[in-house]
Structure 1
Amino acid sequence: MGSRRRRSGSFSFMEEQPEEKEEEGELQWPFGRLDALGRDELRESAYELFVACCRFSQGSSGRAPPSRHPADGSDAGTKAGAGIMSATSRVKGALGLRARLAGPMRTMVNSGSPVTLSSAAGTATALSPAGKPKQRPMTSAEIMRQQMGVTEQSDTRLRKTLMRFLAGQVGRQAETIILPLELLRHLRPPDFVDSNEYHRWQRRQLKILEAGLVLHSWAPCDRLNSSGLRLREILTASELKPIDTSKHSEAMRNLCNCVMALAWRYQNATPVEACHWADGFPFNIHLYLSLLRSIFDLKDKTVILDEVDELLELMKKTWATLGINKMVHTVCFTWVLFEQYVRTGLVEPDLMGATLALLDEVANDAMRPERESGYVKVLLPTMASLKAWAEKKLLDYHEGLKKGGRIEMMDNVLCLAFSTAKIISEETSSNASVGMIVKHDTGGDADDFSPRNCVDRFIRASLKCAFTKAQENGNGKVDSRVVDEEDPHEALIKLAKETEELALSEKENYSPLLKRWYPNPTAVAVVTLHSCYGAVLKQYLPKTSVLTNELVRVLHTAGNLEKVLIQMAAEDSAGAEGGGKGILSEMIPYQVDSIISNLIKRWVDDRLRMARGCFIRAKDTEVSSS
C-alpha cells in the first residue's frame, strides 16, 4: 500500500492512513463499516473527544478513573515521556513487550521555536529567550497529539474553544455534553485558515452527529423519526456550502433541537441520565480503536511506546462517553495488537505473544455473569475474525507459514486458533441464539473446535494443498501430462519423488510442532499424501493397456513410495492406541504387484491369442492348398 497524504479540515496527518481493508492473510474487519466516515475523520473526532474528556475530568468526579497526569498536559508530570527510556511500563511488562530503543532525532515546529523530538515521544528541546537550548520532557498530552498526527495549531484551537465553553461549568460531566454540537456552536469561519477548511470541518462534525445519533445510535432510531429526518436535511444542505451556525440563526436552532431530541431520547420509556451521541455500536468502537492505535511508535510500528500506561490511563476518560468498560477495552486492545502484528508483516512475535496473553483475560471476562448486553456484539465478531485468520494460515500452513522462516510461529498460530475457538464455543454453549449464528458463520458445531479435531483437519487440508501445488506447472494449472498425454510416466515419477520429499519435510519441520496437539501428525500427513498420489495413479492406469518399460518404472516408483509412506506412518503411530491401526487402515494399497501381474497375464493372453490366430490361419491355408 503506497504512502499518501490526505488533506483534512483541522488536522494534518503525516503518516500513512490505511483504509479498513483486509490486511495480509485476509484479516477480516469485525466491527462493521462506517461508509460515511473515513479513517482520518474518525481519528480527528476521536482526538477531539479525547481532549474534551480529559478537560472535563479535571476537578470532576466523573465516572472515568483518575489519571496520574493532568489530561491537557499543561503541567503534566515530566515522567510521561521523560527521555527515550522512561520508567518500566507495567502494561508492557505484563504482556512481555520489549522496551523502545533510542532512535535518531528529528525536528518539528512548536510555537515558532525549533523543537527536537526523539523517536515518537521523548524529550522536547526549545530555545530559551537567551538562545540557550532548554530541554523538557514531553507530556502525555503532547505525546498523544503527536501520535495522532494533530498539528499544534489545530490542537490550540480546540483547547481554547473548550476553555471558553467550560467557563462557569465546573463539575459538569463529559457524558452530558454533545461535543460536536458544542464545537459547532463556538467555532466560526475566522478560526480557520480559509472557508474551505471550515466547510470540511463542519461537514465532519455533522457526519459524526448523523453516525452517532441516527445511523449507529445507542437506541434504535426509526428511519421516519422527525428529528433524524431533520438532521439529515441539515447535512444535505451543508454539502455545497457551510450552514449558518451563528447563535440566532434558524439553521442552528433546528440543529440544536433535533440533536438534543435524539441524544436525550428515552429507551424503553426509561429516562436517561446522560446523553448518548457516541456510544452506539459500532461507532463507539471505531472511535476507540482510533485512540488505541496511537500507542505504536511512529518510526518502528512493531514497538509500543514506553509511555503506554499513561496514554491508556488518559483514554479511560472516554469510556463513559463511548459506553465502553474494562471488558470491552480488553477485546479492543487485543484486536489492535493483533491488527498491528498482521499489518507490520508478522515480523514481531512479541505482538502475537501479547495478543495471546490478552486472550486469556478475554476468556476470563467472557465467563463472567455480569456482562453488559453489548459485550457479545464486540466479543464474538472479534474472536471469529482472529479464528478465521489463524485457520486460513493453518489450512495451508505449507504456504502460509513457510515465508520468511515463519515455521516456528506455528505454535502461536495454533494457540490463537484454539483460544478463540474455545471462547466462541463456550459463548455458544451458554447462548443458544448465538450458537445458531456461529454455526451458520463457521459452518460447524462447537464440538468441531476441539484441538485434536482441528489439527487433524489442518494437516489433511494443508497436505492436499501442498500436493496440488506439486502437480502444478508454471502456469499455475494442474499438470495435464499426468492424465492427458499418451506417455505421462515421467510426470508421475517426478510427482512420486516430490511426494516423498514433501512427506520427509512434514516429518522434519512441522510434525514436531504439531506433536504437542496431536499424537501422530506424521501418520495423518503420509496417509493424506498416499491417498492423493493414489488418486492420480488411479486416473492414469485405465489409459494403459500395454505393459511397457516406462509403465513398469512408474509402478515400481509408486510401490517404493508406498513402502516409504507406510513405514513412516507405522513408526509415528507405534505408540498410538491400537498401534495406529485406525490410521493405517485408511491407506488403500496401490496393489502394484497385482497390477503388474494382471498386465503380464493380459500380455501373455494377447500373445497366446495372436499365436492361436496365426496357427488357425496357417492350418486353413494348408488345408485349402491341399
Structure 2
Amino acid sequence: MGTPFLLERYRRDRRNLLEFLFSEGLIRAPSRTSIDLAGLDLDSISADYVLDCLESGEEFDPSEATRRYFDGLKYPIMLNSSSTNSYYFVSEPEISGSPPRRAAPRLSSGMKITTNGTSSQVAKHDNLIGRDVGISGESRTKGVATADEPSRLLEDKDILSLGLPGLSTGISDDEIRETAYEVLLACLFCGGKVHFPEEMKKEKKTNFLKGLRSKREGLSSFPVPEDSHSDFLDIIRVQMEISEATNAFIRKGSRLSNLREMNEQIDVPCISLNLISVLYKLDFPSERLRMQWQRRQANILEELLGSVNMDSKMRETLQILLRKLRSIEEKVSDVYDGFFEILSLIKRYASKLSSMPGKYGFQSKAYYRTASYQFNIKLYEKLLYSVFDILEDGKILEEADEMLEVYEFTWSTLGITQKLHNVLYAWVLFQQFIKTGEFLLLKLAVLEMQKVLSHKNDEGTEEAYISSLICSVESYGSKRFLCLVDAIFFKIYLWCCYQLEDYHLHFAQEKSAIFGSVVNLAVLTQTTSADECAENKYFGSMAGNIPEWKLFHFFIVKSIQAAFKRACSLAENQSSVELKHPLAIVAHELKQVAEKEYTAFYPVLCQKYPKSGKLAFILLHLLYGERLKPFLEGLTHLSESVKEVLAASNTLELCLAHKLSSIYGDNVDSSATKYVHPYQISHYCAPLVLQWIHAQHDNILEWTKRAVEIEDWEPLSSQQRQAKSAVEVFRIVEETVDQFFSSNLPMDIIHLRSLLIGIVRSLEAYLLHIVNQQVDVTMLYPSTPALTRYAESIYPFMKKKFVQLTTLEEKMTFQLNTLTGPKLCVKLNTLHYIRDQLDTLEDTIKHSWNLVQSGFGLADYFSRISNGKSSVDVNVNLSACNGSVDELFALFDNVRRGAVTTSKMMLDFIGPRVIFWDMRDSFLFSLYRSSVNSARLEIFIPLLDQVLDRICDLIIDELRDQVVLKIFQASMDGFIWVLLDGGPSRAFSEADVPLMQEDLAMLKELFIANGQGLPFDVVEKEARLARQILDLFALKADTIIEMLVSASEQTAYHLKPTTGGRSCANDAQTLLRVLCHKKDGSASEFLKMHYQLPKSSDYDDIPSKEERTSTSPILSDIFRGAASGRRHPCDVGAAGRRRPTHPPPVPTFLSNSHCRQSQSPCA
C-alpha cells in the first residue's frame, strides 16, 4: 500500500477513535448536553486536548480544541513520558551548532503568550530562521550570536507574505485547497476535457494508486491503467490531499450540474451554487461532512459576493440568505421549496454581479476576476503547490508539466494570464526552495522570473488588469501598495537582500552554486537602489553610477562588516577560554573569511561587479587595521600573546596581499589607496625578534651543556646507536628553528644569521666537551723493557733484576678507564650523527627560508599600492638574498671540520686503546713469553674476536671499516712490539719463525673474515712490515750482523728504544733488536762484545698492573712521533707505521769505542 493511502488511513482511524470517545459519552459536553458530531470537524481538533479532558473530567470546548490543534502545528512533535519529554527537530540538529552563549531576548509587553509559553512573534521568527538554515549550512562561528544588529527585514511580520487583501470569512487553507480542486474539476468537465462515469472499477484504481510511487521511481511492475484521464486526476487528487469520499461527491456534483450546458464563462460562485443544487444528503459519507461542505460553500459565496460595494440593505439581505443556507440541514419536503427559493435568490444576485460590464478590455461575465482576485490567486496557488511531491517537498513530480497544462483550463475562471502564471509559479517555487533548500527549485524560479521579464503585454490590457491586483507590503518602516507582480518581485528581492547583506553567514562554501543563483535572482528582482538601503561609507566612489555595481558594493560592505563583527564577538568569548589574545583570534577568523571570499564568492561577484575582490580584501585589511593600530603602538616586549598577535596579523596581511595580487596585481584604483594603511609589522617586531633569538642562544647553550655533562655515552637503542645527549641537543635546536619559522613574523637575514650563530655556538661547545674528555694516545703504550742479549741461565734460583717503571697519575688512569671501546664507538657514532643532522638542519632551514622569501614580494604590497608605486623585481631580490644566505651557512662548516677532526682523533685512539690498554695482559705481556710453543697467538684470537664483535655491534655501518682497520693496525704494532721490544723473556730461534708466520696469517684471516671484513689487499698492505721482520728472524745471525754493519755506515747511531712507529725493516735499529731477541750464540757474542748488553737471564720483565705504562719524556717523544702520521719513503705498504724520531746506536767495532750498558732500561 502506498504512503499517501497510509496517511489517509491514519486520518480515518483518528476520526473513528474520536467519534468513539464522543459517542460513548466519555467526554463531558458543555451544560451536560450531548456533543453534536455533525457540527464538529474532527480533523481540526486537538487529540491531546481531548485526552486531557478525558483524564481531568473537564468540559469539552470545541473552539479551544480547534485552537490547540492549529497552535500545535507551529511546534515540533513532542513525545510525553513519565520520565522526560522528547521532541523532534524540524531541522537537522548536527548542523545547528552549539547553543548561543548570549542571554535570551526579553519578551516585549505587546507579545501575545500562548498556552505553551511561546509567543506567536517568536514562532514566526523561528520559522524564518529555519528556512535560512535550509540553505545556509553550518555557520563557521558556532555558538556565537551575530554581532550585527537585527536586520530591519526581520521587523516585518512575515517576509514571505504577499500582502493580499485578507479573506473576511476566515476560510482555512484546507478549505481553499478543496475549493481549488472543485474549480479544477468543474473547469475540466465544462470544457469537455474529461467525463465522470457513474461507476468506476475499484481494482483499476487500486492498481494505479499502488503504482503511483513506482512510476516515479522508474519501476514498471504494475500495469498501466486503461482510463488515462482518471489516473491523471487521481495523481492530482492525491497531491492535493483530497480523500476518496470527497472526490466521489465532487465528481458526482460536477457530472450532475448543468455547467457543460452553459455557453457562457463560468465563475467560482456559479460552480458553488451548481454543486449545492445537485448534491443531497445521501451523496455524502456522513452528515458531519455534508454540513462542513455546505458551510464552506456558503463562506465562499459570502467571500465572493460580499466583496462588492453595495448598499447596506442589499448586504444585509445577502447575509440573511447565506445564513439560512448554512442553517438548512436537509432538503426535506417542508423546507424543500424554501431551500430552492433561497438558492434561486442567491443565483440571481450572483448572475447580476457577473453580468456587470468587464474592466480593462475583458469581455462580460468576468466581474469576479477583479472583484475577488485575492481569493482566486489563493486558489491557483493551491493548484501550483500540488506539483511538489507530498512525500518529498523538495522534489517536483515527473507529471508536473502535464499538470500545469491541465491547470490552464482554470485561467479564464480564476482570471490568470500567462504573466500571472509565470510570476505565481516562480513565487511558489521560491517559497518551496526556502522551505527545503533544494537548489533545483531555485534554478526553476530564476527561469520563471526571466520569463516574466521577457513577457510582452497585449496592448496594455493585461498590464492594466495586473496593475489592479493590489498588494500591501511593508519595508524599511513604510507601507507600499504594489501590484501583484511587483509585490512578488519586491518580496523576493527583500529576501535576497537579507541573505546577501551577510552572505558569509548564510552561504556555506559548498553552497556556492546556490549563492550564484541568489545573486542572479537579486539582479532580476532589483526594485530598490543601494542608495535607498544605506549610505556607502567605504569606497563609495569605486562603484561609480552603475546601479548594479552600487547594489553589490553595498552587499559586500555589509557582509564584510557583519563577518568582522562576528569575529570580534567570537574573540571576546573565546579569548578567556583558549587563553589567546582577542586580536589573534580575530585575525585567524578574518583569514578564513578571506579564503572563503576568494574561493566561493569572488568568482560569482566579479561577474556582476569587477571590483568586488578589491573592495572585500581592502575592507578586511582596513577594519582589522583599525583594531590593530593601538596595540602596535603600545608594544614593549615580545611575550607569547604579543607574538601570537603579530604572527596572526602578519599572516592575515600576507594572505590579503596574495589574494589581491593574484587578481589585480598592482592595478588598484586610486580611489581605494587612501584607505590602505600597511600594518608595518616588521618595523615593530624586528628588534623584538632579535631579542628573542638572543634569549634562545643562552637557552640552547645551557641545555647543551647540561645534556653533555650528564651523558653516560651509552647507545640510545640498537637502531639508534648515537648518544642521547646529541639527540636532545638537536631536538632543542630544531624546536628553536621551528619556533623561529612558525612564528609567521617578518624577518630578514640579520635574524637568520643570529639564529645560525647560536646553533654553531652550542654544537661547538658539545664538541669541545668531547675533546676535553680525551687522553693523549701516548699514555696507552707500555714502557719498553731493557735491551739484553740472549743467554741461558746457569743459576736458575739466583735473584734477578726487575725493571723500574714509572706509574701514571690517578687522574690520568681514571680518564683512561672511562674511555672504553664501547663508549668510544658511541662517541664516533655521535660525531657522525652530528654531521648528518647538521646537513639535514641546513636543508630544513634553507627550505623554510625560501618559503619566507616567497612572501618578500608581498610583504610590502600594501605599502606599494598606498604610495602608488609599481611592483619590484622579486626575482632579483631573491637572487641577491640567496647569495648572502649561502655565505651564512659557511658557519656550519666550522662545526663539520671540528667533528671530522675529533673523529680522526678518536679513530687514532680506539685501536691502541683496544690492543695496548684493554688487551695488554692477554696480548702484549703473554704472547710468546718464555717460548713460542707455550704462548701462541691462537689463545689471543678468540678474545680479539669477541672485542671485534662487540665493536661491530655498536659502531654504525658507515664507520665500521675505519674502526676495524685502526684496530688491525694497532694489532700489527702490538705484534711487532712483541717481536722487537718484548723484553728479556722473548727469544726466537729459526725454528720458531714458521709458527709465528702461522700466527700472523691467523691474525690476518681474522680481520679478512672470509671476505666480510677488511679487503685482502688492505690487510696485506698493513701486515707487510711484520712479515718482513719475521723474515729477518729466519736469517742466520751472521747475515743480520752484516746487514746491521751496512745500515750503520750510512748514519751515526745511538741506542734508542723502539715503538710501533717503526717504518722500515732494514734499518739499523730494527736489525739490532732482531739480534737482541734472536736465540743464537753468535748474536749474543756480538752484542756482548760491541754493546756490552747484559744477559737476558739476569732480568725479570714481568711488570705489575700499576707499572705497565711509562711517562718517560723520551718515550713520549717516540709515541708522539708514532701518532703524528708522517711516512717514510721506504714504507711502501705500512699504513699507520711511523718512522722513529732517532736512529739506532752506532756499533762499537765501527766507532772504535765502547758504549756503556744502560743502567735504566726504561729511560
In the alignment, which of 617, 621, 629 is matched to residue 526 of structure 1? 617
Q: CA deviation at 1:38?
A: 1.8
What is residue 569 of structure 2 aligned with on the other side?
472
Contact 2:394 2:441 in 1 (8 A): yes
In the alignment, which of 239, 244, 247 is matched to residue 147 of structure 1? 239
Higher relative contact order, chain-length normalized (CA < 8 Å, sep 6+): 1
What is residue 92 of structure 1 aligned with on the other side?
none
Give, as a single letter, the amino acid of the residue that structure 1 aligns with 2:424: C
The 1:213–1:594 alpha-carbon spacing in structure 2 relative to 1, beyond 3 Å, is farther
The 1:550–1:288 alpha-carbon spacing in structure 2 relative to 1, beyond 3 Å, is same
For 1:271 and 1:134, the matched residues in 2 are separated by 43
Q: Determine helix, strand or coil for the equivalent of 1:324.
A: coil
The 1:208–1:535 alpha-carbon spacing in structure 2 relative to 1, beyond 3 Å, is farther
For 1:546 and 1:241, the matched residues in 2 are separated by 93
The 1:416–1:307 alpha-carbon spacing in structure 2 relative to 1, beyond 3 Å, is same
1:410 equivalent to 2:533? Answer no
Give, as a single letter, the amino acid of the residue that structure 1 aligns with 2:674: S
What is residue 95 of structure 1 aligned with on the other side?
none
Q: CA deviation at 1:360?
A: 2.1
TM-score (norm 2): 0.39
What is residue 960 of structure 2 aligned with on the other side?
none
What is residue 227 of structure 1 aligned with on the other side?
314
For 1:491 and 1:137, the matched residues in 2 are separated by 72
Q: Determine helix, strand or coil for the equivalent of 1:295.
A: coil
After TM superposition, list the pairs within 5 Å mapping 1:431-442 onto structure 2. Answer: none
What is residue 448 of structure 2 aligned with on the other side?
358
What is residue 24 of structure 1 aligned with on the other side?
131
Q: Deviations over 1:430-466 (max 9, x none)?
A: xxxxx9xx998x7899x98833222222222222222
Give, as a single letter, the amino acid of the residue that structure 1 aligns with 2:210: L
The 1:357–1:582 alpha-carbon spacing in structure 2 relative to 1, beyond 3 Å, is same
For 1:54 and 1:12, the matched residues in 2 are separated by 29
For 1:448 and 1:37, the matched residues in 2 are separated by 49
Give, as a single letter, the amino acid of the residue that structure 2 aligns with 1:382: I
1:459 equivalent to 2:556? Answer yes
Contact 1:12 1:149 in 2 (8 A): no
The 1:74–1:31 alpha-carbon spacing in structure 2 relative to 1, beyond 3 Å, is farther
What is residue 336 of structure 1 aligned with on the other side?
428
For 1:165 and 1:143, the matched residues in 2 are separated by 24
1:374 equivalent to 2:465? Answer yes
In the alignment, which of 40, 43, 46 is matched to residue 180 of structure 2? 46
1:586 equivalent to 2:675? Answer yes
For 1:500 and 1:167, the matched residues in 2 are separated by 69
Contact 1:396 1:466 in 2 (8 A): yes
The 1:443–1:497 alpha-carbon spacing in structure 2 relative to 1, beyond 3 Å, is closer
Mean Cα deviation higher: 372-381 or 28-37: 28-37
Q: CA deviation at 1:318?
A: 1.1
Contact 1:523 1:568 in 2 (8 A): no
1:56 equivalent to 2:146? Answer no
Q: Percent identity?
A: 22
The structure that is helix-richer by fraction is: 2
After TM superposition, list the pairs within 5 Å mapping 1:114-125 onto structure 2. Answer: 116-119=209-212
For 1:444 and 1:362, the matched residues in 2 are separated by 31
What is residue 504 of structure 2 aligned with on the other side?
398
Contact 1:180 1:205 in 2 (8 A): yes
What is residue 166 of structure 1 aligned with on the other side?
258
Mean Cα deviation higher: 551-560 or 521-530: 551-560
For 2:429 and 2:677, the matched residues in 1 are separated by 47
Q: CA deviation at 1:382?
A: 1.3
Q: CA deviation at 1:239?
A: 7.2
The 1:413–1:585 alpha-carbon spacing in structure 2 relative to 1, beyond 3 Å, is same
Give, as a single letter, the amino acid of the residue that structure 1 aligns with 2:558: A
Q: Determine helix, strand or coil for the equivalent of 1:160.
A: helix
For 2:498 and 2:619, the matched residues in 1 are separated by 19
The 1:165–1:538 alpha-carbon spacing in structure 2 relative to 1, beyond 3 Å, is same
For 2:163 and 2:269, the matched residues in 1 are separated by 25
For 2:595 and 2:224, the matched residues in 1 are separated by 65
What is residue 291 of structure 1 aligned with on the other side?
383
Q: CA deviation at 1:43?
A: 1.0
Contact 1:470 1:495 in 2 (8 A): yes
In the alignment, which of 516, 519, 525 is matched to residue 420 of structure 1? 525
Q: CA deviation at 1:495?
A: 1.8
What is residue 92 of structure 2 aligned with on the other side?
none
Q: Determine helix, strand or coil for the equivalent of 2:294.
A: helix
Q: Determine helix, strand or coil for the equivalent of 1:193.
A: coil
What is residue 120 of structure 2 aligned with on the other side?
none
The 1:462–1:561 alpha-carbon spacing in structure 2 relative to 1, beyond 3 Å, is same
Q: Determine helix, strand or coil for the equivalent of 2:588.
A: helix
1:505 equivalent to 2:596? Answer yes
For 1:379 and 1:269, the matched residues in 2 are separated by 17
Contact 1:338 1:352 in 2 (8 A): yes
Q: CA deviation at 1:560?
A: 1.9
- Aligned length, in residue pairs: 510
1:556 equivalent to 2:661? Answer no
Q: CA deviation at 1:301?
A: 3.6
Give, as a single letter, the amino acid of the residue that structure 1 aligns with 2:404: L
What is residue 622 of structure 1 aligned with on the other side?
none
What is residue 67 of structure 1 aligned with on the other side?
none
What is residue 194 of structure 2 aligned with on the other side?
71
Mean Cα deviation higher: 447-456 or 523-532: 447-456
Q: CA deviation at 1:526?
A: 2.0
Contact 2:265 2:413 in 1 (8 A): no
What is residue 606 of structure 1 aligned with on the other side?
none
Contact 2:354 2:368 in 1 (8 A): yes
Mean Cα deviation higher: 256-265 or 40-49: 256-265
The 1:488–1:525 alpha-carbon spacing in structure 2 relative to 1, beyond 3 Å, is farther
For 1:192 and 1:367, the matched residues in 2 are separated by 46
The 1:583–1:323 alpha-carbon spacing in structure 2 relative to 1, beyond 3 Å, is same
For 2:426 and 2:535, the matched residues in 1 are separated by 25
Q: CA deviation at 1:587?
A: 2.8
For 2:41 and 2:255, the matched residues in 1 are separated by 18
After TM superposition, list the pairs within 5 Å mapping 1:273-288 onto structure 2. Answer: 273-274=364-365, 276-277=367-368, 279=370, 280-288=372-380
- Structure 1 residue runs of 5 or longer lacking an equivalent are 59-69, 76-107, 124-131, 216-220, 426-434, 598-626
Q: Determine helix, strand or coil for the equivalent of 2:131.
A: coil
Contact 1:341 1:351 in 2 (8 A): yes
The 1:504–1:277 alpha-carbon spacing in structure 2 relative to 1, beyond 3 Å, is closer
Contact 1:199 1:241 in 2 (8 A): no
For 2:259 and 2:413, the matched residues in 1 are separated by 21
Q: Determine helix, strand or coil for the equivalent of 2:608.
A: coil
The 1:581–1:550 alpha-carbon spacing in structure 2 relative to 1, beyond 3 Å, is farther
Q: Deviations over 1:83-136 (max 9, x none)?
A: xxxxxxxxxxxxxxxxxxxxxxxxx9669966543235959xxxxxxxx98953
After TM superposition, list the pairs within 5 Å mapping 1:603-622 onto structure 2. Answer: none
For 1:586 and 1:464, the matched residues in 2 are separated by 15
Q: CA deviation at 1:402?
A: 0.7
The 1:183–1:12 alpha-carbon spacing in structure 2 relative to 1, beyond 3 Å, is farther
For 1:444 and 1:182, the matched residues in 2 are separated by 59
Give, as a single letter, the amino acid of the residue that structure 2 aligns with 1:295: V
Q: CA deviation at 1:39?
A: 1.6
Q: CA deviation at 1:395?
A: 1.8
C-alpha RMSD over aligned residues: 4.7
Contact 1:31 1:282 in 2 (8 A): no
Q: CA deviation at 1:57?
A: 1.0
After TM superposition, list the pairs within 5 Å mapping 1:90-105 onto structure 2. Answer: none
- Structure 2 residue runs of 5 or longer lacking an equivalent are 1-6, 16-38, 45-69, 75-123, 133-157, 217-221, 468-482, 537-543, 687-1163
Q: Deviations over 1:320-373 (max 9, x none)?
A: 111111121111222222222232x223x3322222222221111167753332
Contact 2:357 2:367 in 1 (8 A): no
Q: Deviations over 1:227-286 (max 9, x none)?
A: 334334555667777597844346445534544444444578999721534653222111
